Structures are given as C-alpha cells and as structure tokens.
C-alpha cells in the first residue's frame, strides 16, 4: 500500500511540475517575442533612430522604419514599474507592428532635459506620418491599446 501511495504521489508531482514547466516555456517564448520589440537606447541611439532634434528643431521627422513608443522612465519610479510590463505585453501582442524604445532618464539626463521630460513615466508615440503624441503618468492597458490602434498604427 505504501509503495502504491508513493508511486501515485510521484506521478502527481511529476505531472504538476511538467505542466508548470510548459507554462514557463510558453511564457518564455512570449517574452522572447516581446523583448525583440523592446530596445533600451541611449541619447545617441535616439538621435540616430528616432528623432535628431539637433538637425531639425522646428519639425519632428521620425527616423524609424516602423512606428515607435518611447518610454522615458526611472528605475525608482513606482508608476514606471507598473506601466513597463503593460508596454512589453503590448509589444509582444502587436508582434513587430511597432518598436518599444525604453530610455532610463537617470542614465540619459541630458536627453530628458533637452526634450523637456519633467514627469515620469512619459510616453511618446511616434507614428510613421504625423505628429508624435505625448502622455504622462500611468495609463491602463486598454487606454494604451486604444492610442496604439487609433493614433500610432492608423
């Protein structure tokens, strides 16, 4: 009887562990897709890939090959920590339709200052054509998705 009980418990534990492993694997694949659409960039990369405001300070000319969301954040910022996973989820869900650039304002103080970033998080949505849209503070996922659908990818 003890052997049967031990065998049964072993099968149950093994099954539960393998199910958990499969969930992590699938989650890992989703995160890999999202991370390929998420790039931490510097001021120099911003000037090269997003907008070179030194060359053209009167009009915003987006330089990217697909729409972008630029997340200005700080590691100590509570609302930044809340919105970051939502943005990364959306980058994965939209599967390459836009790129998410993340800029740590503590590391890139000059860029934040030159762009007038005063509140965190600040998100700037760069559509392929038209003017960028800037929002400040935490926003729920549904609101971010609406902005992406109606403004960024229009």
* Active site amino acids: 77, 80
Q: Residue 127: how many CA atoms within 13 Å on its side-chain side?
A: 14
For the record, the structure tokens of 89 come out as: 């989820």
Residue in the block written with tokens 């931490």: 40
Q: What is 25-83 written as a DSSP string?
A: HHHHHHHHHHHHTEEE--HHHHHHHT--TTT-SSS-----SS-EEEEEE-TT-HHHHHH
Angstrom distance (rounded) from CA 132 to CA 4: 66
């Amino acid at each position: 009887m003890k052997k049967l009980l031990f065998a049964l418990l072993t099968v149950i534990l093994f099954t539960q562990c393998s199910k958990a492993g499969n969930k992590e694997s699938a989650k890992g694949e989703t995160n890999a897709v999202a991370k390929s659409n998420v790039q931490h960039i510097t001021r120099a990369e911003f000037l090269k890939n997003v907008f070179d405001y030194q060359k053209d300070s009167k009009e915003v000319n987006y330089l990217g090959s697909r729409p972008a969301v630029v997340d200005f954040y700080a590691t100590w910022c509570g609302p930044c920590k809340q919105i970051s996973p939502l943005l990364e989820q959306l980058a994965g869900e939209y599967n390459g339709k836009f790129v998410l650039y993340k800029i740590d304002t503590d590391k890139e103080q000059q860029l934040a200052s030159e762009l007038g970033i005063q509140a965190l998080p600040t998100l700037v949505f760069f559509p392929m054509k038209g003017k960028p849209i800037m929002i400040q503070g935490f926003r729920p996922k549904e609101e971010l998705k609406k902005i992406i659908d109606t403004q960024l990818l229009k």
